[in-house]
Each structure stands twice: as structure tokens, then as C-alpha cells.
Amino acid sequence: MRNVVNGVLRRDLRIDTRTPQVVPGMALFSISAFVVFHFALQQRSVSGNLAAGVLWVTLLLAAVLGIARQFVADREEGGFEGFLLAPVDRTALLVAKATSLFLFLIALEIVAVPAFLIMLLGPSPQEFWRLLLALALADLGIAFVGTLVGALAVQSRARDLLVPLLALPLLIPLLIGAVKISAPVFGGPVAAARWPWVLALYDLVFGLVAYAVFDFLLED
């Protein structure tokens, strides 16, 4: 299984390196969204819960763009059907796709978070480890949910519409938890200590759900 995961992961990373689409698209969207927020809020800077909300809404919407493109290349070039016909464990595709989406999200945040700090943030960030913790837990949850939704939506011609309709409601608990954890970084109130555990539980639940139903999604 490890060889299959490594092979699929290397192929996805190679495709996005040779013809960059996913990460540049998400990064450009996030920067554009920060510009829109800057003019829409009519404030020189934001702080507290508002700052955390602006950051996480932007990252979440940018992630939806990556989810929508996750299986498209496989579907259009026949790789999807080829994998289904191969005598390999289909869970390997789940692990590989979730890992590639996780890495794409990290690449997005390397660009988006500094852009947010420069364009919108007022006070200097404090306890930056909270934001890193929120990013790690949220990225893991988005990777599991996004892979599930992407595998389901790729079978439909309306996948560009289906992905946000399915992904965004499922990701609302993750959004709330990420904002609660990272708000103190931007001068907001310190949330209860349970929120990192809530996000960790969210990741565990959707990881198990993805493992249980992924084969059935591929068959449909």
C-alpha cells in the first residue's frame, strides 16, 4: 500500500509542479479576498475575532477551489478508471489524495498568512503557536472532508457546484473551532481549552468516516 500511496502522491505533486493550477489558484483567490475585505470593511486593520474570521473564511473558500480540482485530472485523463481496475487497495487513493491536499493547503498558507498579516492585521500577532496549532488541525480535517467530497462530486457533471454545497456545511464546525483557537493571536479573547480537542475529534471522526465509505464512493 505504501508504494501505491507514494506513486499517486508523487504523480499529483509532479502534475501541479509542471502545470501549476491548484496552489496558484488558491493563493491568488486568498489575496484577492483580502483586498476585497480591506475595502469592504473600510478599516485600516482588523483584530480579535474579526481578524480570525476574515482569515479562516478566506482560507476555507480557497480550500474549496483545491477540493474541486482534486480528482479532475484523474477523471479527464483516464487515471481514475485505471486505478479502479488495478489490483490495489483503494484506501491508498484516499491516503494519497488527502496527503496531497494537506500539502497544497500548507503551500497556500505559506502565501496567504503573511499576506493577511501585511494587508489587514493591526496589532502584532501574539502566541503565534496557537495559529500554527489551528492550521495543522484544520488542514487535516479539510484534507479528509475534501477528499470525500471530491470523490463524490467527480462523478457528477455539476461538480463545481456540488463541491461547495457539500463541503462548506461539513466544514462549519471546523471553522468555528479554528477561529476560537486562533483569535487570541490577533488580540481576541482566549477560548476554552477544549477547542483543540474538539478539532482533533472532528479530524478523527471524519478520518474514520472517509476510511469506511471511500470504497463505496469509488464504486458509484
Going from N- to C-terminal start, the domains of the chain cover: 2-219
How far is residue 220's CA from residue 31's CA, in Å, rounded to a whole number?
37
How far is residue 195's CA from residue 183's CA, in Å, rounded to a whole number?
12
Per the CB < 8 A criterion, the answer to whether 159 and 32 are in contact is no
pLDDT at 66: 86
How far is residue 47's CA from residue 187's CA, in Å, rounded to a whole number?
6
> Is the pTM above the cut of 0.85?
yes
pLDDT at 25: 87
Q: Per the structure block, which three cell numbers stand in for 120?
A: 489587514
In the Cβ-directed half-sphere of 149, how many Cα atoms lie within 13 Å? 29
Q: Which helix (H) or strand (E) holds 125?
A: none
How far is residue 220's CA from residue 215's CA, in Å, rounded to a whole number?
9
Residues facing 46 on adjacent strands:
121
pLDDT at 41: 84
How does pLDDT run along the chain (220 residues), one tens digit per residue? 666 666 667 776 676 666 667 888 899 999 999 999 888 888 777 888 888 999 999 999 999 988 887 777 666 655 556 556 665 666 777 888 888 899 999 999 999 999 998 888 776 778 888 999 999 999 999 999 998 888 887 777 777 788 888 899 999 999 999 999 998 888 878 877 899 999 999 999 999 998 888 777 766 5
Q: Per the structure block, which three cell numbers stand in for 51?
A: 481578524
